[in-house]
């Protein structure tokens, strides 16, 4: 049975809003005052620039702006930006509001992903992600949610989507809010708890209603990974639970140079932060998909995370399935791309038979059994709600689990290099599938306890 809840998109192109204004991603060897002047003289407005990568994001109403700016000889390329749908609308399952109250508030029993990676063992060893900064590059984050309000750093959170703040989006799910809760929902006795519940979340809005321009994402990467002293967010880890698949070279989408600029941004970020991306939900063999490229999973020096999920976790609970490392039905895979695997959930259990799981301190949640095989986390809800939760599944849920374990490692080893952090995340993972590097598990299935104790 295949339920239509997948989170990532492939090759879904949307036209920019009809307007005389156009947006551009411009590159130079470095970005200096000379580039800023050249943009202005050609009739452009600079909205973001980054000195070291030489990338600038520019708006212009001038019809021949590209020709004008190239004649200045200050740039190596000028590419018109494009808006793509980076994550489709998804089928999620919301936790009934009536189940959420403060005499009956803890849903830890439904959070099988914690057991899957032995997060309680890491917490008992004293590692909760305290002091580690994780940027969530995604849609809006509901920063007043009871599980996130003490975790989101408002001063450095930022939106690169024109006209919207970082804490705005559409609908009642809010993909970025769900992702943020997987990383760092507070251990406050209310609702859910994140895998690194004392880490700091920086909300970096690069999508709105699932769509976003390359320029927004590139700007978010460069901002999030730039040190605080240099005007950036100073993130240690960047989580990108987003992606799209294109013909290699951009094909007829015209995205080739934009993909190249995205690579440059990820490679810059890798100097200061670990860049973690979801692998994608299209069941693609990335080792043998030479005609297409999935980004940012295959971008630069970042790492990609595949997904696992149980089948029947709640059936006969507490004696239900514990096959948490079961390969998810939808995950992209490939030894050349996958770094590690992590809990992302699945929804393949047949039928709609009901299952119940107790909440703490009393009561229970009853939904179709297959729902419990997905990942439960924070969501936006409606109105003034600050206690809304939803289930979802996908590599979008697996990536923040890996980011959270990386945050635990960073707390344990504050001066660890990015290369060493990548290696420890992989070397402490459980070697599943084929010995060594496996197309589905990469270098292994993440293990929070081993990551901070070995």
Residue numbers annotated as active site: 138, 175, 396
Compute the distance between CA of residue 94 and CA of residue 292 in angstroms, rounded to an integer. 34
DSSP 248-264: GGGGGGT-HHHHHHHHH
Compute the distance between CA of residue 17 and CA of residue 215 in angstroms, rounded to an integer. 15
For helices 418-427 and 395-412, what crossing angle results, to 10°? 110
Write the CA distances from 399 to 42, 55, 97, integer angstroms: 41, 27, 27
What are the beta bridge partners of residue 57?
A: 25, 48
Compute the distance between CA of residue 356 and CA of residue 110 in angstroms, rounded to an integer. 10
DSSP 173: S
Are the C-beta atoms of residues 300 and 264 closer than 8 Å to each other? yes
Which residues, at least 6 apart from 76, have a Cβ–Cβ distance to it below 8 Å?
Answer: 27, 28, 29, 54
In 3-state terms, the chain is what percent helix, strand and coil (to 5)?
25, 25, 50
Count Cβ atoms below 10 Å from residue 20 Cβ, excluding itself: 8
Is beta strand 22-27 parallel, antiparallel or unpaired with respect to 303-308?
A: unpaired
Are the C-beta atoms of residues 219 and 57 closer than 8 Å to each other? yes
Closest CA to 28 of 78, 81, 85, 63: 78
Compute the distance between CA of residue 425 and CA of residue 350 in angstroms, rounded to an integer. 34
């Amino acid at each position: 049975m295949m339920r239509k809840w997948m989170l990532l998109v492939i090759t879904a192109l949307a036209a920019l809003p009809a307007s005389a204004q156009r947006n551009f991603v411009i590159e130079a060897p470095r970005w200096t005052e000379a580039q800023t002047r050249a943009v202005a003289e050609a009739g452009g407005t600079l909205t973001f620039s980054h000195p070291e990568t030489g990338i600038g994001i520019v708006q212009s109403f001038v019809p021949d702006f590209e020709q004008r700016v190239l004649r200045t000889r200050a740039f190596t390329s000028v590419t018109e930006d494009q808006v793509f749908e980076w994550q489709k609308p998804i089928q999620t399952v919301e936790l009934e509001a009536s189940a959420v109250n403060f005499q009956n508030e803890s849903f830890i029993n439904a959070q099988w992903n914690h057991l899957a990676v032995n997060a309680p063992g890491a917490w008992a060893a004293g590692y909760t992600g305290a002091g580690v900064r994780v940027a969530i590059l995604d849609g809006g984050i509901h920063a007043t949610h009871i599980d996130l309000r003490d975790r989101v750093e408002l001063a450095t959170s930022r939106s690169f989507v024109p006209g919207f703040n970082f804490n705005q989006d559409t609908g009642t799910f809010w993909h970025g809010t769900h992702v943020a809760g997987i990383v760092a929902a507070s251990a406050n006795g209310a609702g859910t708890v994140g895998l690194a519940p004392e880490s700091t979340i920086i909300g970096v809005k690069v999508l709105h209603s699932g769509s976003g321009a390359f320029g927004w994402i590139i700007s978010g990467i460069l901002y999030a990974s730039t040190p605080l002293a240099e005007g950036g967010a100073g993130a240690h880890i960047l989580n990108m639970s987003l992606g799209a698949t294109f013909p290699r070279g951009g094909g007829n989408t015209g995205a080739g140079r934009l993909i190249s600029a995205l690579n440059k941004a990820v490679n810059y970020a890798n100097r200061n932060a670990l860049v973690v991306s979801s692998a994608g939900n299209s069941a693609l063999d990335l080792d043998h998909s030479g005609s297409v490229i999935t980004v940012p999973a295959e971008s630069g020096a970042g790492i990609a995370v595949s997904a696992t999920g149980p089948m029947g976790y709640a059936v006969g609970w507490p004696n239900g399935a514990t096959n948490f490392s079961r390969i998810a039905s939808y995950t992209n895979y490939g030894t050349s791309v996958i770094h590690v695997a992590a809990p992302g959930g699945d929804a393949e259990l047949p039928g709609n038979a009901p299952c119940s799981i107790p909440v703490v301190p009393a009561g229970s949640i009853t939904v179709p059994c297959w729902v419990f095989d997905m990942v439960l986390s924070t969501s936006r809800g409606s109105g003034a709600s600050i206690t809304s939760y939803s289930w979802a599944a996908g590599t979008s849920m697996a990536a923040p689990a890996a980011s959270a374990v990386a945050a635990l490692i960073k707390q344990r080893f504050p001066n660890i290099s990015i290369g060493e952090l990548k290696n420890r995340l992989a070397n402490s993972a459980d070697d599943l599938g084929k010995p060594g590097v496996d197309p589905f598990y990469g270098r292994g299935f993440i293990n929070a306890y081993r990551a901070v104790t070995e």
